[in-house]
Amino acid sequence: MLQVKNISFRYKKKNILEAISFHVNQGEHVSIIGESGSGKSTLLKLLYGTYDLNEGEIFWKDSQILGPKFNLIIGPDFMKYVSQEFDLMPFTSVSENIGAFLSNFYPKEKQERTLELLKVVELEAYANIKVKELSGGQKQRVALARAIAKQPEIILLDEPFSHIDNFKKQSLRRNLFKYLKEKNITCIVATHDKDDVLSFSDQMIVLHNAKILANNTPQYLYKHPKDKLIASFFGEFNDINGKLIYANQLKIVETSDLKTTVKQVYYKGYYYLIEVDLNGNKVFLEHHKALKIDTTVYISIIRQG
C-alpha cells in the first residue's frame, strides 16, 4: 500500500501542496486531477522522491520514500515515473530504448519481452527507428513502454497520452491500463482528461488550492459533483437554482416551469449542444436534433437513479 501522510511542499515561499493525505492499495488505479498549476506534477515528483518534503511522510509498504537529501539516486527500484518530458535516448532505436532496462543474460527472453512491449504501445513497425526521428506522440509511447519494461510495483504517469493523437489514444489507453491491471501494478496518473479517469480509475483525487478538494470513486464524484470545478471536469454543466445539472440531464418537454429561448446550436456528432436563455442565464442541454434560434422551449431535469 502507498501511504501519503500529511505532506506539504513548497518550491519557494508559497505552499504548492498542503497537508495532503491519501492511500492507494496494491494494484489500484488512482487519478490526480486539477487545473493546470494545481500541483499534479509536483505531487508525482514527490511520490518518486525527487524533492525533500517540507512536512509529512510517504511510504510504499514498509519503505519510506525519501528525497535527494537522503538518496544519491532519485527514484526507488520498485517505482517507475514517466514525466511530461519523456527522458529517452534519442540516438538509439525504439527497441534499444525499451530494452535498456532488460537483462542481456537472456537474449531470447529480452527479444520476446521487447516485442510484447512494442505491441502494448503499438510501435512494432518502428522497432528499428531511431527515437530522434519519431513524433512527440510516438516518443511518449516509447517512454510508456520503457516504464513498464521491468515490471515496477508502482507506476507514476504524468499526462501519459497528452501528445498522442485521437486516432491512437483510445486503443493505447485501453491496452496500457489493461496491461497494468493484469500485472497488478499500482498506477497513479496525473491527467486533465476525463476519459483517463471514468473507465479506468478506482479512485480520483481532486487538487485545488494546494489541498485535496475531493477523493472518491469517479462514479461517486460524477453523480455528486459537490463543486463546479468537479462538474466542469466531467462535461458541460449548469447551475440551476444552486444545483449542478449536466447538459445531458436536461430534456425538452411539452411544458414546464422552465421556459427558455434557444440562443445557439453546436453540432457534436451524435447530439447537438443547445444553448438556451433561462431568465437571463445561459443554460446548456443536449438534444438529438438541431433547433431554430429564438424559438421557445420548455425544459425539465431528468431524474437520475
**Binding region for ligand ADP (CB under 6 A):** 11, 16, 34, 36-42
Alpha-carbon distance of 138 to 147, in angstroms, equals 14
Q: Which is nearer to ligand ADP, 39 or 160 (CB)?
A: 39
Shortest separation between residue 86's beta carbon and Mg ion, angstroms: 14
Q: Which is nearer to ligand ADP, 11 or 270 (CB)?
A: 11
Using Cβ positions, the residue closest to Mg ion within the complex turns out to be 41
Shortest separation between residue 251's beta carbon and ligand ADP, angstroms: 36
Shortest separation between residue 298's beta carbon and ligand ADP, angstroms: 41
Dihedral of CA atoms 213, 201, 148, 174 in degrees, nearest 10, equals -140
User: Which three cell numbers, joined as nine digits, stand for 102?
Assistant: 532488460
Angle subtended at Cα 70 by Cα 65 and Cα 76, rounded to the nearest 5 degrees: 40
Whether the CB-CB separation of 270 and 290 falls below 8 Å is answered with no
49 binds, options Mg ion, ligand ADP, none, Cβ within 5 to 8 A by partner type: none
Whether the CB-CB separation of 234 and 225 falls below 8 Å is answered with yes
- Distance in Å from the first CA to the final CA of the chain: 34
Give the number of C-alpha atoms closer than 13 A to the C-alpha of residue 158, restricted to the C-beta side.
19
Q: Does 191 bind Mg ion (CB under 5 A)?
A: no
Shortest separation between residue 145's beta carbon and ligand ADP, angstroms: 23
Q: Residue 60: in which H helix or E strand, if any?
A: strand 55-60
Alpha-carbon distance of 264 to 202, in angstroms, equals 37
Q: Which is nearer to ligand ADP, 40 or 139 (CB)?
A: 40
186 binds, options ligand ADP, Mg ion, none, Cβ within 5 to 8 A by partner type: none
Q: Which is nearer to Mg ion, 41 or 95 (CB)?
A: 41
Binding map of Mg ion across residues 27-46, x = CB under 5 A, - = no contact: -------------xx-----
91 binds, options Mg ion, ligand ADP, none, Cβ within 5 to 8 A by partner type: none
Shortest separation between residue 258's beta carbon and ligand ADP, angstroms: 37
Shortest separation between residue 192's beta carbon and ligand ADP, angstroms: 8
Q: Which is nearer to Mg ion, 40 or 113 (CB)?
A: 40
Q: Which is nearer to ligand ADP, 35 or 202 (CB)?
A: 35
Alpha-carbon distance of 27 to 44, in angstroms, equals 17
Alpha-carbon torsion (56, 58, 63, 65), positive or negative: negative
Alpha-carbon distance of 186 to 202, in angstroms, equals 11
Q: Which residues in this chain contact Mg ion in the complex, by CB under 5 A?
A: 40-41
